Amino acid sequence: MRRLFVFLALLLSMSMQAQESADVHRFDYAAHAPLDIKEAGLEHRGKVTIHDISYPSPRGGRVPAYLVVPEGKGPFAAIVWGHWYWATSEFANRKEFLEEAVALAPAGVVSLLTTGPIGRPGYEQPKSPFTDESAAYMEQQVIDMRRGADLLLARKDVDAKRLAYVGHSYNASVGGILSGIEKRFRAYVLMAGGLSFEVDRKTKPYQDIRNRMGGEKFDAVLAKYAYLDPGKYVAHAAPATVFLQYAAKENFLSPEVSRQYAELVSEPKMYKLYDCPHALNAAARKDRVQFLAEQLRLKKVPDNVGANVPELPQPAQ
């Protein structure tokens, strides 16, 4: 009987590994395709240059982005930044972290700040987060960020061993997926984003949706899109270090929910809660800069770097 249990456990393990492998392959793309970077303009901020560029998305269309480059030959550290998706915010695009990226550039950082599909021509808001269309947008964003890493690492002035990812809200969830499949990032900062379907489904808002949809239908939908559950990936973020930043004044992502997310993330990790709404605040930015400086071994980062970066306005909830 014991042998039978061992055999069944082995079969289950092999089945789960095969499924996880299939899930990872959903985010495959032609990594060696030409980058085809196009520049629309540039701006100089002292010794920092902001390039207005775009590059092809493997899923169609082009990704608008800012490429922020410091003066000098490098080798520089590099960061891919992902903005929040708050629909009524004027910063639901590549502008959210621009001032922060400019402030970090003199410390030796090249930054890529993209605009996700919601800010691109032709985007239409899906009727529900539980649709093939919504799933396709999430897949595209994960792949576009991987392609962004390709773009940065193709630069001769970038140190491939000092690459980080910063994502807020929706793009924190994207970063959760990336953390398990994209091992070129040395560090991740995940800000106020959902990181587990399994944690979420126990909350009252999800239970209310389940009651409205019907239990079997809701469970079937979650099972269909389980491959997009960041919780499946954040447990495998190591060896990257993950810094989780959450807000205490949230309607849905409560401190208790965020702590449960943190328990799922592999070591090494950091978790910090801030007394603010979803936009987070200056204290979070200061901690984020310090974390990135340590992880990316940045040179001469002043204590007040980013102090003049304007607060991200928090729209009414």
CATH of 34-194+233-295, one of 3.30.1540.10, 3.40.1280.10, 3.40.50.1820, 3.20.20.70: 3.40.50.1820
pLDDT, position 230:
97
The pLDDT tens digits along the chain (317 residues) read: 444 444 444 433 333 344 455 577 899 999 999 999 999 999 999 999 999 999 999 999 999 999 999 999 989 999 999 999 998 999 999 999 999 999 999 999 999 999 999 888 888 887 777 789 999 999 999 999 999 999 999 999 999 999 999 999 999 999 999 999 999 999 999 999 999 999 998 988 888 888 888 888 888 888 999 999 999 999 999 999 999 999 999 988 999 999 999 999 999 999 999 999 999 999 999 999 999 999 999 987 878 887 889 999 999 86
Quick one: tokens of 123?
A: 């985007």
Quick one: tokens of 178?
A: 């990336």
Rounded to whole angstroms, the maximal C-alpha distance in the chain is 73
pLDDT, position 256:
96
Residue-wise DSSP of 182-225: -TT-SEEEEES----HHHHTTSHHHHHHHHHH-HHHHHHHHHHT
pLDDT, position 33:
96
Per domain, the residue ranges of the chain are 34-194+233-295
pLDDT, position 21:
54
Burial pattern 239-256, b for ≥16 Cβ within 10 A else e, equals ebbbbbbbbeebeebbee
Residue 183 sits at φ, ψ, to 5 deg, of -90, 5
Q: How many CB atoms lie within 10 A of CB 60?
A: 10
Residue-wise DSSP of 272-296: EEESS-TT--HHHHHHHHHHHHHHT
